[in-house]
Amino acid sequence: MNQNTVTNTIKLFQLDGKVSLISGASRGIGRAMAEGLAGAGSDLVIAGREIDTLTPVAEQITEETGRTVLPIQADVGNLPDIDALVDQTVATFGRLDVLVNNAGVNVRNPALEFSEEDWDFVTDVNLKGAFFLAKACGKIMEKQGGGKVINTLSLTSAIGLPTSVAYTAAKGGLLQLTKLLAVEWAEHNIQVNGIAPGFIRTEMTAPAREDSRNEWILNRTPADRWGEPEDLAGLTIFFASNASDFVTGQMVFVDGGFMAGSDWRRQK
């Protein structure tokens, strides 16, 4: 491999001059994705429901990477917030190249006990909000001649996990939405893909690490550990970069092998 080939390969993954918008970016997976994109050269808009938690994250990413990071308070379950978020992004940076649709919420209850209020709350953010944010960003990307949409999916996009009925329905729907948008938007040079995290060490998953589910998860995960938010950064960069220009409509699990088999340690 000659030097030009090496240089061109590295450039495939560089995001210099790009602007990325990440929802649900104040902590956990979303924050790690934002840090990865900034480290690869992208300027950022990070969005979430609490500006007080977003601002220090933006300041830290700027300090560590030198990229411009704009925090914007927005609830993607509220459609007017979506329009304002995208408008402010374009007004500030003049363009929008990458959307990471990461905002998510969950309410746990058995299906027979699940309320309409909780159903609407979960699906409004995880599915309805994700679609309308993608739609708003897609209009900008179409005018620019291309872009990238990355949806945060879930193990529940493919399997059922008890007590997460609305979340499972929403993440399953988001997988199908990923495929549909990939097909419709291919002619606009917009690639749409999904990242499905396994069991990642975040605040949201803390209860599962402290009860009987922890043993079951480790038994089912060949990597024999919980994932860390940083484990999502590399794939996020790939989907955001020119390296994925011929990849669209895909879901990739980042799960330590969870979906590859079951109770692997018990079978050894």
**Extents of the domains making up the chain:** 9-267
Burial of 9 (0-12, 13-18, 19+ CB in 10 A): exposed
What confidence tier does 244 reach under pLDDT thresholds 50, 70, 90?
very high
**pLDDT value of residue 67:** 98
Q: Are 21 and 98 in contact (CB under 8 A)?
A: yes
| Neighbouring-strand partners of residue 70 | 45
Nearest residue to 152 via CA among 253, 20, 7, 264:
253
Which position among 93, 131, 132, 167 bears the catalytic label?
A: 167
Asked whether the predicted pLDDT for residue 143 surpasses 90, the reply is: yes
Asked whether the predicted pLDDT for residue 204 surpasses 60, the reply is: yes
User: Within 10 Å of residue 266's Cβ, how many Cβ atoms?
Assistant: 8
Asked whether the predicted pLDDT for residue 179 surpasses 90, the reply is: yes
Nearest residue to 202 via CA among 42, 8, 31:
31
What confidence tier does 2 reach under pLDDT thresholds 50, 70, 90?
low
Give the chain's radius of gyration (CA, Å): 18
Nearest residue to 24 via CA among 130, 147, 138:
130
Distance CA 220, CA 154 (A): 16
The DSSP 8-state label assigned to residue 125 in this structure reads: I
Dihedral angle at the C-alpha atoms of 155, 158, 159, 160, nearest 10 degrees?
90
Distance CA 150, CA 192 (A): 6
Write out pLDDT tens, residues 45-73.
Answer: 999 999 999 999 999 999 999 999 999 99
**Beta-strand runs (E) in 9-166:** 19-23, 43-48, 69-73, 98-101, 147-152
**pLDDT value of residue 153:** 98
Q: Name residue 209's amino acid.
A: R
The DSSP 8-state label assigned to residue 206 in this structure reads: H
Element (H, E) at 251: strand 251-254
Write out pLDDT tens, residues 16-45.
Answer: 999 999 999 999 999 999 999 999 999 999
Distance CA 251, CA 183 (A): 14
What confidence tier does 261 reach under pLDDT thresholds 50, 70, 90?
confident
- pTM for the complete prediction? 0.94
| Neighbouring-strand partners of residue 267 | none
Half-sphere exposure of 185 (CA within 13 A, CB side): 31
Higher pLDDT, 188 or 7: 188
Token pair of 122 as six digits: 């979960």
**pLDDT value of residue 185:** 98
Token pair of 180 as six digits: 């549909």
130-150 mean pLDDT: 98
Region 9-267: CATH code:
3.40.50.720
Strands 251-254 and 98-101: unpaired
Q: What is the overall mean pLDDT for the chain? A: 94
**pLDDT value of residue 265:** 61
161-170 mean pLDDT: 95
Q: Based on the residue annotation, tell me whether 167 is a catalytic residue of this protein.
A: yes
What confidence tier does 245 reach under pLDDT thresholds 50, 70, 90?
very high
**pLDDT value of residue 8:** 76
Distance CA 153, CA 80 (A): 24
